[in-house]
Structure 1
Amino acid sequence: MSEAPKSPDDKSRIQSFGKMMDILASFTTVHRAQSLAQVAQAAGLPRATAHRILSALREIGFIQQDARSGLYGLGIRLFELGNLALANMDLMREAKPFMDRLSRLAGETVHLGVFDGYNVIVVEREDPQDRLSSRDLSGTESAPAYCTSVGKAVLAFQGPEVVARVTAGGMRHFTANTLASVEALNADLAATRERGYAIDDSEHQVWVRCVAAPIRNAGGQVFAAVSVTGSADRVTPERVQQLSGLVMQTADSISRQLGFVERA
């Protein structure tokens, strides 16, 4: 049976939805707050149209507006829907039992991070039974990709244009160990590709050491990573060598559950 032709009203609604998406897509981690003129220009819309759509999106909580500056930003409702989407992702469901096992074997905290194009977002966390955390970090904690093990595990398998985009805004120093230059980062990423896992040697948090391995989707693209995190006195450089095998095995198991098949 052939599909019925769309009515003028249907076409108008589709166009309106498209304009809404163009406006929402104009906000990024770089352009988090924008004026009406900036939104209109980024979305390719007349200012009057952009203003009308922004007002409608603000009413339903998808957009918020600063009372003092008048600048627009993404609203809390999108965050809530994003968390709901993350909770239903195949990754979350498939990774959970492997993360539980890794945390038990390592005796350390395990994180699952997803790359959003600039940062990594922690979407799941497992703590060992003897060190249960009171914090729920699922879907709420993000960190720069260039100074975390989960971030570097993903960045190592991206194109140079992605690394350039991530570092374009500068590389903030969180600790004395944070990599100081793009050249140093590229060397670290090359080492990560060679050995199959990334190390955060107290680069994001003082006295914290992490080891992470990349997770691939069914198409083979690296989009996430799993890590073991602990204090530097427990996760010593020698122990990193021991944990790396467990972490890589876990990442490989999760990737296979997601449909990845390694080709000879």
Structure 2
Amino acid sequence: MDKERAGIQSVEVGFTLLQALGRAPGALMLKDLAFAAGMGAAKAHRYLVSYQRLGLVVQDGRSGHYDLGPAALHLGLAALTRLDPVQLARERLPALMEQMQHTLALAVWGNQGPTLVHWMPSPQTVVAHLRLGDVMPLLSSATGRCFAAWLPAATTAPLLQAELQQTHGADAPTAPAIAALQPLWAEVRAQGAARVEGHLLPGTAAFCAPVFDASGQLALGVLCLGPSTRFDARWQGAVHGPLSAWARQLSHDLGHAPAVQA
């Protein structure tokens, strides 16, 4: 069994070159690529010769820089077409539940707004009044705030307008109120998740973190909620930190590459 698990070390070593190219913002010189992969230039060159033959790597004839080749592109596209964000998230929720011990849910953007598509109640505390298929409000729920913060304004504006008119009256101007929400959306984006305490369900607190796909679009939101008396509602606390990390890892595995801050 140990021999079967041993694998081929040279394949694993050489793969670090492909990983380095995948992390780089563009093509790399041999010395820079070898350094990024943690190996000598001569050794890296031998691997790159084989990778060029396979189409995994290409070399610019003028600059000599190396970059990922068409075979790497085809493999990546094949993997992306087989990814189902919701299914992948559902498979990983049990492990998150073991860590969080609070009710979890998944939501996607539907025709009428953020819609709950999967529900995993905590074995310790069950938050009632929410069901699969429920559409969450944009203003008073963590799920709604998460989607409102990351979706294009043109997508969310009609729903925001309808919610504000329900609160302030059908004749009340909504444009100033929508504009006044920008600091809230900015805070959600800065924190990497949305938070509410008692807004939608009295005595309940919640976080919702975004999951992005390879194109950078919001694929789904992962919601964690529980009773305020037992729920850590602090930013970077026992709920927010692990939930955001889980969402970032899932985004990464869906092919999302966060924008590099200047």
| TM-score normalised by L of structure 2 | 0.57
What is residue 123 of structure 1 aligned with on the other side?
117
Partners of 1:214 and 1:132 lie apart in 2 by 23
CA 120–89 in structure 1, closer or farther in 2 if over 3 Å, else same: farther
What is residue 144 of structure 1 aligned with on the other side?
137
Gaps of 5+ in 2: 1-81, 168-173
Amino acid in structure 1 at the alignment position of 2:204 = V
Amino acid in structure 1 at the alignment position of 2:90 = K
CA 228–96 in structure 1, closer or farther in 2 if over 3 Å, else same: same
What is residue 33 of structure 1 aligned with on the other side?
none
- C-alpha deviation, 1:258, in angstroms: 2.3
* Residue 196 of structure 1 pairs with residue 192 of structure 2: yes
Percent identity, aligned pairs only, is 18
| TM-align CA RMSD | 2.9
Which of 194, 217, 237 is matched with 1:221 structurally?
217
**In the alignment, is the contact (CA less than 8 A) between 1:218 and 1:261 conserved in 2?**
yes
| TM-score normalised by L of structure 1 | 0.56
Which of 141, 147, 165 is matched with 2:158 structurally?
165
What is residue 244 of structure 2 aligned with on the other side?
248
Which of 84, 90, 106 is matched with 1:90 structurally?
84
CA 147–184 in structure 1, closer or farther in 2 if over 3 Å, else same: farther
Task: Give the number of the structure whose alpha-carbon radius of gyration is greater.
Answer: 2
| 1:34-73 aligned within 5 A | none
Amino acid in structure 1 at the alignment position of 2:148 = L
Partners of 1:132 and 1:242 lie apart in 2 by 19
SS at match of 1:130: coil
- Deviation per CA, 1:204-241, whole angstroms, max 9, x where unpaired? 11111101111111211113210110011111434873
Partners of 2:207 and 2:114 lie apart in 1 by 15
- C-alpha deviation, 1:95, in angstroms: 0.3
Which of 206, 212, 217 is matched with 2:208 structurally?
212
**In the alignment, is the contact (CA less than 8 A) between 2:195 and 2:208 conserved in 1?**
yes
- C-alpha deviation, 1:167, in angstroms: 1.2
**In the alignment, is the contact (CA less than 8 A) between 1:150 and 1:224 conserved in 2?**
no
